[in-house]
Amino acid sequence: MNTHKTSRNRTQREWLGMLAPCFLLLLLFNYIPMLGNIIAFKDFRLDLGILASPWNGLENFRQLFSGADFMAAVKNTIVISVLRLGIGFWAPIILALLLNEIRIKWFKRTIQTVTYLPYFFSWVILGGIFLMVFSLRGPANMIVSLFGVDPITFLTNDRWFLALLIGSAIWQGVGYGAVIYLAALSGIPVQLYEAAAVDGAGHWQQMLKITLPCLVPTMIVLFILSLGQIMSAGFDQVYNLYNPMVYDVADIIDTYVLRRLQTMDFGLATAAGLFKSVIGLTLVVGTNMIVRRMSNGERGVW
């Protein structure tokens, strides 16, 4: 009995020994920075450090929200995100449904592999490529000139730049998203379709009444998760594509924070970052709660 107990204690000790280095890293690189957010409520001075710097209440936030540049960044972030989500959310669903209809296996696999490819490259690479393709003398404008239209300033015109952001985001993510939906599609029992066919349901009706409803749980999870990204608006992409000519539409919260960090306005930058995280967290948790309530606890991310 006694040996049993000591061996169980040993097991617990060994488990804790494994966890210890992991939790040390979590403490250093996740939890201490989380607590570091108190800088948002301080008049932070580098020489004093986080703890010794004097509190200044909501002064950073007051300054933030009275500054025109931050409010513009918030607006731009929301515009870009809403466009991305509103248009981009449907693209992978449509691609998955189209791929699902293909009977030729190798063709389906090839298209899947190809459309998935851009997801593997950083926006440094993709941005570099897009800057070349959409430059004034690039191939995109060559195609435009075939229609007798003057060259388009894709990269420096506000509206065209927004279109380019949305389009390239879809271009990059559609294949990856489709794979997730295809996984969900492959989980639909064949019997459902067979039964529907017996009942005389056509192809179109099967898709509306079986396929789409079966995708809804996946759609809900992905939708809630992408709500968490609304305040980010794809920093990597924006940063690698934008230029001073389009700051009016492309300066987002994250680029604002980065700029404030570079000018050593630590308090303002932290306040902006915290504002962003809290909104993102609230959106995800809130939507998840609503979805759970509406579906009697059956749907949602957790």
Partner 1 sequence: MKQSTGEKIFQWGNVLLLTLLGLITLYPFIYVLSLSLSTAAEAQRSGLHLYPQEVSLTAYKMVLNNPNILIGYLNSIFRTVTGTLGTLVFTCLCAYPLSRPGMRWRRTLTFIVLFTLIFNGGLVPMYLQIRNLGLLNNRLVYILPSMVAAFNVIVLKNFFEEIPNSLAEAARIDGASEWRILFQIYVPLAKPALATISLWTAVVHWNQWFDAMIYITDDKKQVLQNFLQRIVVENSTDMIAKGLVNPDIMQFTPETIKAATVIITILPMIIAYPFIQKYFVKGIMIGGVKE
Contacting partner 1 within 182-211 (CB under 8 A):
183-184, 187, 203
Q: How many of the chain's residues bind partner 1 (CB under 8 A)?
A: 89
E-assigned strand segments in the chain:
none
Site membership for partner 1, residue 137 (CB under 8 A): yes
Report in angstroms how near the CB of residue 300 gets to partner 1 at its nearest.
10
Q: Is residue 257 a contact point for partner 1 (CB under 8 A)? A: yes
Per-residue interface string for the shown chain with partner 1, residues 82-101, x marking contact by CB under 8 A: -------------x--xx-x
Site for partner 1 in 213-252 (CB under 8 A): 218, 221, 228, 236, 240
Question: For 245, which DSSP code?
Answer: G
C-beta pairs of 209-217 under 8 Å, 24+ apart in sequence: 211/97, 211/100, 211/185, 214/184, 214/185, 214/187, 214/188, 215/93, 215/96, 215/181, 215/184, 215/185, 216/299, 217/184, 217/299
Which is nearer to partner 1, 201 or 285 (by Cβ)? 285
User: If binding is defined by CB under 8 A, does position 128 make contact with partner 1?
Assistant: yes
x-or-dash string of contact with partner 1, 266-295, rule CB under 8 A: x--xx--xx-xx---x--xx----------
User: Given the complex with partner 1, which of 15 and 57 has the nearer CB atom?
Assistant: 15
CA of 298: how far to CAs of 175, 211, 220, 291, 295, in Å? 28, 19, 11, 9, 5
Is residue 36 a contact point for partner 1 (CB under 8 A)? yes
Q: How far is the CB of 263 from partner 1 (least distance, A)?
A: 12
Cα–Cα dist 184/104, whole Å: 20
Q: What are the DSSP E strand ranges found in 56-98? A: none
Give 7's Cβ-side CA count (13 Å radius).
4
The residue from 127, 166, 237, 291 that contacts partner 1 (CB under 8 A) is 127
Stretch that binds partner 1, among 60-68, 69-77, 132-140, 207-215 (CB under 8 A): 132-140
**Residue 158, C-beta contacts closer than 8 angstroms, at least 6 positions apart:** 246, 248, 249
Half-sphere exposure of 23 (CA within 13 A, CB side): 6
Enumerate residues 3-22 that contact partner 1 by CB under 8 A. 7-8, 11-12, 14-16, 18-19, 21-22
Q: Residue 296 phi/psi, 5° resolution?
A: 55, 40
Q: Pick from 62, 69, 71, 120 the residue near partner 1 by CB under 8 A.
A: 120
By CB under 8 A, residue 26 contacts partner 1: yes
